[in-house]
């Protein structure tokens, strides 16, 4: 069943993880980071894992004292086709809204995100965020 009329569906991260982790490891992501992501996705009740034909996204939903809620993208992994994040970012925003978030964000040291993301995204150093 799709979430919020998007191509995303909830996924069983334990089933999806093994082939995805092997592909991600080849990209150079350190094994300890993969292990931490898997642990968060399988044990942290504030995370949601969703999958679509373009890839898999793990979000952590964080509520703050000021009443705001942010969906932090812990991982967005493409199934191979370039441009998956750009194609799916509006759908990811719909999923984040569906779980009660009023913003979403991620952390990356890659400079290319500044050029790729649209004007709705703000960045402060390595943190990228947008209102929903």
pLDDT digits (tens, 9 = 90+) for 103-132: 999 998 888 888 889 899 999 999 999 999
pLDDT digits (tens, 9 = 90+) for 43-57: 888 999 999 988 889
Q: Which 3-state string (H, E, C) describes 29-96?
A: CCHHHHHHHHHHHHHCCCEEEEEECCEEEEEEEEECCCCCEEEEEEEEEECCCCCHHHHHHHHHHHHH
97: DSSP letter:
H
Whether the predicted pLDDT of 40 surpasses 70: yes
The pLDDT value recorded for residue 29 is: 60
pTM of the entire predicted model = 0.84
Whether the predicted pLDDT of 15 surpasses 70: yes
Average pLDDT, the chain: 87
- CB–CB of 77/23 below 8 Å? yes
The pLDDT value recorded for residue 30 is: 62
What domains does the chain contain, in order, with CATH numbers?
Answer: 9-106 (3.40.630.30)
Tally Cβ neighbours within 10 Å of residue 47. Answer: 19
Work out the end-to-end distance of the chain between its first and last CA atoms, rounded to an integer number of angstroms: 23
Q: Which tokens hold the place of 110? A: 């890659």
Whether the predicted pLDDT of 16 surpasses 70: yes
Tally Cβ neighbours within 10 Å of residue 100. Answer: 10
pLDDT digits (tens, 9 = 90+) for 85-96: 889 999 999 999
């Amino acid at each position: 069943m799709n979430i919020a009329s998007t191509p995303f569906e909830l996924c069983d991260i334990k089933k999806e993880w093994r082939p995805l982790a092997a592909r991600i490891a080849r990209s150079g992501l350190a094994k300890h980071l993969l292990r931490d992501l898997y642990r968060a996705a399988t044990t942290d009740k504030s995370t949601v894992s969703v999958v679509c034909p373009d890839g898999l996204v793990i979000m952590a939903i964080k509520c703050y004292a000021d009443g705001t809620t942010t969906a932090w993208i812990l991982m967005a992994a493409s199934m191979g086709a370039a441009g998956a994040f750009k194609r799916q970012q509006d759908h990811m925003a719909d999923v984040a809204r569906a779980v009660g978030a009023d913003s979403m964000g991620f952390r990356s040291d890659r400079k290319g995100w500044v050029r790729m993301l649209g004007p709705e995204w703000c960045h402060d150093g390595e943190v990228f965020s947008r209102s929903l």
